[in-house]
Amino acid sequence: MANVVILGAGVMGTAFSFPLTDNGHRVRLVGTHLDGDIIEELHESGVHPRLGSRVSPDVQPYTYDRLAEALEDADLVVLGVNSLGVDWAASMLGPLLPPHMPVALLTKGLVGDDDGLHILPHAFRQQLPAERQADVRLAAIGGPSIAGELAEHRDTSVVVTGEDPTLLPQLAGWMRTPYYHVWPNSDFVGVEVCVAMKNIYALAVGLVGGFLEKEGKAENGAVMFNLAAAIFAQGLWETAHLVDLMGGRRSSVFTLPGAGDLYVTSMGGRNSRMGRWLGLGVPYSQAKAEYMPDDTIEGAELAQAIGPTVDRMLAAGELDPAALPLMHAMIRIVNDDAPAEIPWDAFFAGLSSE
Protein backbone atom coordinates (compact mmCIF):
# COMPACT_ATOMS: atom_id res chain seq x y z
CA MET A 1 0.00 0.00 0.00
CA ALA A 2 1.48 3.34 -1.11
CA ASN A 3 0.96 6.92 0.02
CA VAL A 4 0.43 9.06 -3.09
CA VAL A 5 0.32 12.85 -3.13
CA ILE A 6 -1.51 14.42 -6.09
CA LEU A 7 -0.78 18.13 -6.47
CA GLY A 8 -3.65 19.70 -8.38
CA ALA A 9 -7.30 18.95 -7.61
CA GLY A 10 -8.70 19.60 -11.07
CA VAL A 11 -10.63 16.98 -13.00
CA MET A 12 -7.68 14.91 -14.20
CA GLY A 13 -5.72 15.00 -10.96
CA THR A 14 -8.82 13.91 -9.05
CA ALA A 15 -9.82 11.28 -11.61
CA PHE A 16 -6.37 9.73 -11.29
CA SER A 17 -7.13 9.03 -7.63
CA PHE A 18 -9.78 6.45 -8.56
CA PRO A 19 -7.54 3.60 -9.79
CA LEU A 20 -5.09 4.32 -6.98
CA THR A 21 -7.67 4.05 -4.21
CA ASP A 22 -9.30 1.07 -5.91
CA ASN A 23 -5.91 -0.63 -5.54
CA GLY A 24 -5.87 0.14 -1.81
CA HIS A 25 -3.48 3.10 -1.91
CA ARG A 26 -3.97 6.22 0.21
CA VAL A 27 -4.23 9.46 -1.74
CA ARG A 28 -3.60 12.96 -0.44
CA LEU A 29 -5.19 15.35 -2.93
CA VAL A 30 -3.61 18.78 -2.58
CA GLY A 31 -5.35 21.67 -4.29
CA THR A 32 -3.45 24.54 -5.86
CA HIS A 33 -4.04 28.14 -4.86
CA LEU A 34 -6.85 28.10 -7.47
CA ASP A 35 -8.57 24.98 -6.12
CA GLY A 36 -9.94 26.27 -2.83
CA ASP A 37 -13.59 25.77 -3.82
CA ILE A 38 -12.89 22.19 -4.88
CA ILE A 39 -11.11 21.27 -1.65
CA GLU A 40 -13.89 22.85 0.39
CA GLU A 41 -16.57 20.90 -1.49
CA LEU A 42 -14.65 17.64 -1.14
CA HIS A 43 -14.48 18.19 2.62
CA GLU A 44 -18.19 18.96 2.80
CA SER A 45 -19.74 16.41 0.43
CA GLY A 46 -17.00 14.20 -0.97
CA VAL A 47 -18.20 15.03 -4.51
CA HIS A 48 -15.89 16.82 -6.92
CA PRO A 49 -17.89 19.84 -8.14
CA ARG A 50 -16.55 19.70 -11.72
CA LEU A 51 -16.25 15.96 -12.20
CA GLY A 52 -19.59 15.28 -10.57
CA SER A 53 -18.17 12.09 -9.07
CA ARG A 54 -17.82 11.06 -5.44
CA VAL A 55 -14.22 10.38 -4.46
CA SER A 56 -13.12 7.48 -2.31
CA PRO A 57 -12.95 7.89 1.49
CA ASP A 58 -9.26 7.05 1.03
CA VAL A 59 -8.75 10.44 -0.65
CA GLN A 60 -7.78 13.10 1.88
CA PRO A 61 -8.21 16.68 0.57
CA TYR A 62 -5.55 19.25 1.52
CA THR A 63 -5.16 22.94 0.80
CA TYR A 64 -1.83 23.93 -0.74
CA ASP A 65 -0.57 25.51 2.49
CA ARG A 66 -0.59 21.99 4.00
CA LEU A 67 1.63 20.50 1.29
CA ALA A 68 4.47 19.73 3.71
CA GLU A 69 2.07 17.78 5.90
CA ALA A 70 0.71 15.88 2.89
CA LEU A 71 4.22 14.88 1.81
CA GLU A 72 5.03 13.10 5.07
CA ASP A 73 5.81 9.43 4.32
CA ALA A 74 4.86 9.88 0.65
CA ASP A 75 5.92 7.20 -1.83
CA LEU A 76 4.95 9.05 -5.02
CA VAL A 77 4.12 12.61 -6.04
CA VAL A 78 1.84 13.19 -9.03
CA LEU A 79 1.51 16.56 -10.76
CA GLY A 80 -2.04 17.25 -11.88
CA VAL A 81 -1.63 21.00 -12.48
CA ASN A 82 -2.05 22.52 -15.95
CA SER A 83 1.01 23.39 -18.02
CA LEU A 84 1.03 27.00 -16.77
CA GLY A 85 1.26 25.74 -13.20
CA VAL A 86 4.41 23.64 -13.53
CA ASP A 87 6.76 26.43 -12.39
CA TRP A 88 4.49 27.07 -9.39
CA ALA A 89 4.45 23.36 -8.57
CA ALA A 90 8.25 23.21 -8.74
CA SER A 91 8.55 26.22 -6.44
CA MET A 92 6.18 24.60 -3.93
CA LEU A 93 7.68 21.13 -4.06
CA GLY A 94 11.34 22.09 -4.42
CA PRO A 95 12.10 22.80 -0.74
CA LEU A 96 9.97 19.85 0.44
CA LEU A 97 10.71 16.89 -1.84
CA PRO A 98 12.47 14.05 -0.05
CA PRO A 99 15.58 12.69 -1.82
CA HIS A 100 14.98 10.27 -4.71
CA MET A 101 11.22 10.87 -4.67
CA PRO A 102 9.43 9.66 -7.84
CA VAL A 103 7.44 12.48 -9.45
CA ALA A 104 4.97 11.52 -12.17
CA LEU A 105 3.41 14.17 -14.41
CA LEU A 106 -0.14 14.06 -15.71
CA THR A 107 0.55 17.58 -17.05
CA LYS A 108 1.21 17.83 -20.80
CA GLY A 109 3.16 20.40 -22.77
CA LEU A 110 6.45 21.54 -24.25
CA VAL A 111 8.56 24.57 -23.44
CA GLY A 112 10.89 26.54 -25.65
CA ASP A 113 13.98 28.61 -24.94
CA ASP A 114 17.19 29.66 -26.66
CA ASP A 115 18.37 26.05 -26.64
CA GLY A 116 15.30 24.68 -28.41
CA LEU A 117 12.24 22.67 -27.40
CA HIS A 118 12.07 20.61 -24.20
CA ILE A 119 9.60 18.17 -22.69
CA LEU A 120 7.73 19.39 -19.63
CA PRO A 121 9.26 16.98 -17.06
CA HIS A 122 12.71 18.30 -17.92
CA ALA A 123 11.44 21.87 -17.56
CA PHE A 124 10.01 20.93 -14.16
CA ARG A 125 13.40 19.57 -13.09
CA GLN A 126 15.17 22.77 -14.12
CA GLN A 127 12.96 24.75 -11.74
CA LEU A 128 13.88 22.62 -8.72
CA PRO A 129 16.72 23.52 -6.35
CA ALA A 130 20.08 22.28 -7.62
CA GLU A 131 20.36 19.63 -4.92
CA ARG A 132 17.05 18.08 -6.03
CA GLN A 133 17.58 18.20 -9.80
CA ALA A 134 19.98 15.27 -9.81
CA ASP A 135 18.03 12.87 -7.63
CA VAL A 136 14.36 13.44 -8.53
CA ARG A 137 13.00 10.39 -10.37
CA LEU A 138 10.83 11.69 -13.19
CA ALA A 139 7.98 9.79 -14.80
CA ALA A 140 4.81 10.64 -16.72
CA ILE A 141 1.48 9.11 -17.67
CA GLY A 142 0.28 9.55 -21.24
CA GLY A 143 -2.49 8.32 -23.48
CA PRO A 144 -6.18 8.82 -24.27
CA SER A 145 -7.77 9.52 -20.91
CA ILE A 146 -10.89 11.65 -20.44
CA ALA A 147 -11.18 12.43 -16.75
CA GLY A 148 -14.93 11.93 -16.51
CA GLU A 149 -14.69 8.47 -18.05
CA LEU A 150 -11.84 7.41 -15.78
CA ALA A 151 -13.75 8.59 -12.70
CA GLU A 152 -16.69 6.41 -13.74
CA HIS A 153 -14.47 3.35 -14.25
CA ARG A 154 -14.78 3.36 -18.04
CA ASP A 155 -12.03 1.36 -19.73
CA THR A 156 -9.01 3.63 -20.19
CA SER A 157 -5.61 2.73 -21.67
CA VAL A 158 -2.39 4.65 -20.99
CA VAL A 159 1.35 4.24 -20.76
CA VAL A 160 3.67 5.16 -17.91
CA THR A 161 7.06 6.39 -19.01
CA GLY A 162 10.16 7.82 -17.38
CA GLU A 163 13.90 7.99 -17.16
CA ASP A 164 14.33 4.95 -14.90
CA PRO A 165 13.06 1.80 -16.65
CA THR A 166 13.27 -0.15 -13.39
CA LEU A 167 10.68 2.18 -11.81
CA LEU A 168 8.06 1.83 -14.54
CA PRO A 169 6.75 -1.69 -13.76
CA GLN A 170 6.30 -0.70 -10.12
CA LEU A 171 4.33 2.42 -11.01
CA ALA A 172 2.26 0.52 -13.57
CA GLY A 173 1.42 -2.06 -10.92
CA TRP A 174 0.28 0.60 -8.48
CA MET A 175 -2.06 2.08 -11.10
CA ARG A 176 -3.35 -0.91 -13.04
CA THR A 177 -6.96 -2.04 -12.44
CA PRO A 178 -9.48 -4.07 -14.48
CA TYR A 179 -10.58 -0.78 -16.10
CA TYR A 180 -7.32 1.24 -16.04
CA HIS A 181 -4.96 -0.52 -18.42
CA VAL A 182 -1.33 0.59 -18.03
CA TRP A 183 1.73 -0.37 -20.06
CA PRO A 184 5.33 0.64 -19.22
CA ASN A 185 6.99 2.58 -22.07
CA SER A 186 10.64 3.63 -21.86
CA ASP A 187 10.32 6.23 -24.67
CA PHE A 188 10.17 9.20 -22.30
CA VAL A 189 10.82 11.89 -24.92
CA GLY A 190 8.63 10.35 -27.60
CA VAL A 191 5.65 9.89 -25.29
CA GLU A 192 5.89 13.42 -23.94
CA VAL A 193 6.21 15.01 -27.39
CA CYS A 194 3.15 13.08 -28.59
CA VAL A 195 0.89 13.93 -25.66
CA ALA A 196 1.87 17.60 -25.89
CA MET A 197 1.50 18.05 -29.64
CA LYS A 198 -1.87 16.31 -29.75
CA ASN A 199 -3.39 19.46 -28.26
CA ILE A 200 -2.34 21.76 -31.09
CA TYR A 201 -3.45 19.25 -33.73
CA ALA A 202 -6.77 18.61 -31.96
CA LEU A 203 -7.31 22.37 -32.14
CA ALA A 204 -6.68 22.08 -35.90
CA VAL A 205 -9.18 19.22 -36.26
CA GLY A 206 -11.66 21.38 -34.37
CA LEU A 207 -11.55 23.96 -37.17
CA VAL A 208 -13.68 21.61 -39.23
CA GLY A 209 -16.68 22.16 -36.96
CA GLY A 210 -16.62 25.83 -37.84
CA PHE A 211 -15.99 25.20 -41.54
CA LEU A 212 -19.01 22.88 -41.67
CA GLU A 213 -21.21 25.31 -39.78
CA LYS A 214 -20.34 28.08 -42.24
CA GLU A 215 -20.82 25.96 -45.34
CA GLY A 216 -23.59 23.70 -44.09
CA LYS A 217 -24.28 20.09 -44.90
CA ALA A 218 -24.42 19.11 -48.55
CA GLU A 219 -27.76 18.38 -50.20
CA ASN A 220 -27.13 14.67 -49.73
CA GLY A 221 -26.31 15.14 -46.04
CA ALA A 222 -22.53 14.89 -46.49
CA VAL A 223 -20.43 16.55 -43.81
CA MET A 224 -16.62 16.98 -43.60
CA PHE A 225 -15.18 13.80 -42.13
CA ASN A 226 -12.73 13.58 -45.04
CA LEU A 227 -11.34 17.00 -44.20
CA ALA A 228 -11.03 16.22 -40.49
CA ALA A 229 -9.30 12.93 -41.24
CA ALA A 230 -6.69 14.59 -43.45
CA ILE A 231 -5.89 17.15 -40.75
CA PHE A 232 -5.68 14.34 -38.18
CA ALA A 233 -3.27 12.38 -40.39
CA GLN A 234 -1.08 15.42 -41.06
CA GLY A 235 -0.93 16.05 -37.33
CA LEU A 236 0.43 12.55 -36.77
CA TRP A 237 2.88 12.99 -39.66
CA GLU A 238 4.25 16.20 -38.15
CA THR A 239 4.34 14.69 -34.67
CA ALA A 240 6.46 11.85 -36.03
CA HIS A 241 8.91 14.37 -37.51
CA LEU A 242 9.19 16.22 -34.22
CA VAL A 243 9.60 12.98 -32.25
CA ASP A 244 12.45 12.00 -34.59
CA LEU A 245 14.05 15.41 -34.19
CA MET A 246 13.89 15.36 -30.37
CA GLY A 247 15.18 11.81 -30.05
CA GLY A 248 12.04 9.79 -29.39
CA ARG A 249 10.70 6.66 -31.06
CA ARG A 250 8.06 6.62 -33.80
CA SER A 251 6.29 3.66 -32.19
CA SER A 252 4.87 6.10 -29.62
CA VAL A 253 3.35 8.23 -32.40
CA PHE A 254 1.22 5.43 -33.79
CA THR A 255 0.06 3.94 -30.49
CA LEU A 256 -1.62 5.34 -27.36
CA PRO A 257 0.43 8.52 -26.77
CA GLY A 258 0.14 9.75 -30.35
CA ALA A 259 -2.76 8.40 -32.40
CA GLY A 260 -4.80 7.38 -29.35
CA ASP A 261 -4.49 10.66 -27.49
CA LEU A 262 -5.02 12.78 -30.61
CA TYR A 263 -8.17 10.81 -31.44
CA VAL A 264 -9.78 11.24 -28.04
CA THR A 265 -8.81 14.92 -27.80
CA SER A 266 -10.23 15.58 -31.28
CA MET A 267 -13.60 14.09 -30.31
CA GLY A 268 -14.62 17.08 -28.20
CA GLY A 269 -13.63 19.35 -25.35
CA ARG A 270 -12.14 22.81 -25.14
CA ASN A 271 -9.77 22.49 -28.11
CA SER A 272 -12.69 21.48 -30.32
CA ARG A 273 -14.90 24.29 -29.06
CA MET A 274 -12.20 26.87 -29.71
CA GLY A 275 -11.45 25.30 -33.10
CA ARG A 276 -15.09 25.79 -34.06
CA TRP A 277 -14.90 29.52 -33.36
CA LEU A 278 -11.69 29.80 -35.36
CA GLY A 279 -13.20 27.82 -38.23
CA LEU A 280 -16.15 30.22 -38.21
CA GLY A 281 -13.68 33.03 -38.89
CA VAL A 282 -13.45 34.54 -35.40
CA PRO A 283 -9.85 35.64 -34.60
CA TYR A 284 -8.34 33.77 -31.69
CA SER A 285 -7.97 36.80 -29.40
CA GLN A 286 -11.64 37.67 -29.87
CA ALA A 287 -12.83 34.08 -29.47
CA LYS A 288 -10.88 33.67 -26.26
CA ALA A 289 -12.00 36.99 -24.77
CA GLU A 290 -15.66 36.81 -25.76
CA TYR A 291 -16.59 33.12 -25.85
CA MET A 292 -14.12 31.14 -23.73
CA PRO A 293 -12.55 33.61 -21.27
CA ASP A 294 -12.40 31.19 -18.34
CA ASP A 295 -11.37 28.07 -20.27
CA THR A 296 -7.88 26.65 -20.57
CA ILE A 297 -7.29 25.93 -24.27
CA GLU A 298 -4.36 23.51 -24.19
CA GLY A 299 -3.65 23.70 -27.92
CA ALA A 300 -3.57 27.50 -27.86
CA GLU A 301 -1.41 27.55 -24.74
CA LEU A 302 1.07 25.25 -26.45
CA ALA A 303 1.15 27.48 -29.54
CA GLN A 304 1.87 30.48 -27.33
CA ALA A 305 4.49 28.64 -25.28
CA ILE A 306 6.55 27.31 -28.17
CA GLY A 307 5.71 29.81 -30.93
CA PRO A 308 8.66 32.18 -30.42
CA THR A 309 11.10 29.27 -30.18
CA VAL A 310 9.66 27.62 -33.28
CA ASP A 311 9.96 30.91 -35.19
CA ARG A 312 13.60 31.25 -34.13
CA MET A 313 14.39 27.64 -35.03
CA LEU A 314 12.75 27.98 -38.44
CA ALA A 315 14.72 31.14 -39.17
CA ALA A 316 17.95 29.46 -38.08
CA GLY A 317 17.31 26.35 -40.15
CA GLU A 318 17.01 24.17 -37.04
CA LEU A 319 13.47 23.18 -38.03
CA ASP A 320 12.37 22.28 -41.56
CA PRO A 321 9.36 24.45 -42.49
CA ALA A 322 8.32 21.90 -45.12
CA ALA A 323 7.93 19.26 -42.42
CA LEU A 324 5.67 21.24 -40.04
CA PRO A 325 3.25 23.36 -42.11
CA LEU A 326 0.16 22.63 -40.00
CA MET A 327 1.93 23.39 -36.72
CA HIS A 328 3.24 26.66 -38.17
CA ALA A 329 -0.24 27.57 -39.46
CA MET A 330 -1.81 26.92 -36.05
CA ILE A 331 0.85 29.01 -34.30
CA ARG A 332 0.06 31.91 -36.64
CA ILE A 333 -3.70 31.46 -36.14
CA VAL A 334 -3.33 31.63 -32.35
CA ASN A 335 -0.45 34.04 -31.89
CA ASP A 336 -1.11 36.45 -34.78
CA ASP A 337 -4.90 36.12 -35.23
CA ALA A 338 -4.25 34.78 -38.74
CA PRO A 339 -7.25 33.40 -40.66
CA ALA A 340 -7.98 29.70 -40.33
CA GLU A 341 -6.63 28.38 -43.61
CA ILE A 342 -5.36 24.85 -44.26
CA PRO A 343 -1.98 24.68 -46.08
CA TRP A 344 -3.03 21.74 -48.25
CA ASP A 345 -0.24 21.98 -50.80
CA ALA A 346 2.37 21.61 -48.04
CA PHE A 347 0.89 18.46 -46.48
CA PHE A 348 2.82 15.17 -46.29
CA ALA A 349 6.16 16.57 -47.47
CA GLY A 350 8.55 13.76 -48.28
CA LEU A 351 5.89 11.06 -48.19
CA SER A 352 6.77 9.78 -51.66
CA SER A 353 10.32 9.06 -50.53
CA GLU A 354 9.32 7.02 -47.49
Per-residue confidence band for 352, with pLDDT thresholds at 50, 70 and 90: low
pLDDT of residue 132: 85
Quick one: CA torsion of 49, 51, 56, 57, rounded to 10 degrees? -10
For residue 305, what are the CA distances in angstroms to 1, 13, 15, 113, 334? 38, 22, 26, 10, 11
Amino acid at 46: G
The mean pLDDT value for 320-325 works out to: 94
Specify whether the CB–CB gap between 116 and 309 falls below 8 A: yes
SS3 assignment, position 46: coil
Amino acid at 301: E
Is 70 exceeded by the pLDDT of residue 77?
Answer: yes
The mean pLDDT value for 103-129 works out to: 95
- Domain segments of the chain: what residues? 3-186, 190-353
Specify whether the CB–CB gap between 83 and 306 falls below 8 A: no
The CATH number assigned to the domain with range 190-353 reads 1.10.1040.10
Specify whether the CB–CB gap between 250 and 244 falls below 8 A: yes
Is 60 exceeded by the pLDDT of residue 186?
Answer: yes
Q: Which of 272, 214, 287, 205 is nearest to 239 (CA)?
A: 205
Mean pLDDT of the chain: 96
Distance CA 66, CA 309 (A): 37
Tell me, yes or no, if the two domains 3-186 and 190-353 fold the same way: no
The mean pLDDT value for 209-218 works out to: 96
Distance CA 284, CA 290 (A): 10
The mean pLDDT value for 134-151 works out to: 96
The mean pLDDT value for 316-340 works out to: 96
The mean pLDDT value for 235-253 works out to: 97
| Polymer length in residues for the chain | 354
Distance CA 263, CA 268 (A): 10
Per-residue confidence band for 354, with pLDDT thresholds at 50, 70 and 90: low
Is 70 exceeded by the pLDDT of residue 353?
Answer: no
Specify whether the CB–CB gap between 77 and 206 falls below 8 A: no
SS3 assignment, position 42: helix
Is 80 exceeded by the pLDDT of residue 330?
Answer: yes
- Cα 275 to the chain's mean position, in Å? 17
Specify whether the CB–CB gap between 4 and 71 falls below 8 A: no
Domain 3-186 has CATH 3.40.50.720: yes
Quick one: CA torsion of 241, 254, 222, 349, rounded to 10 degrees? 20
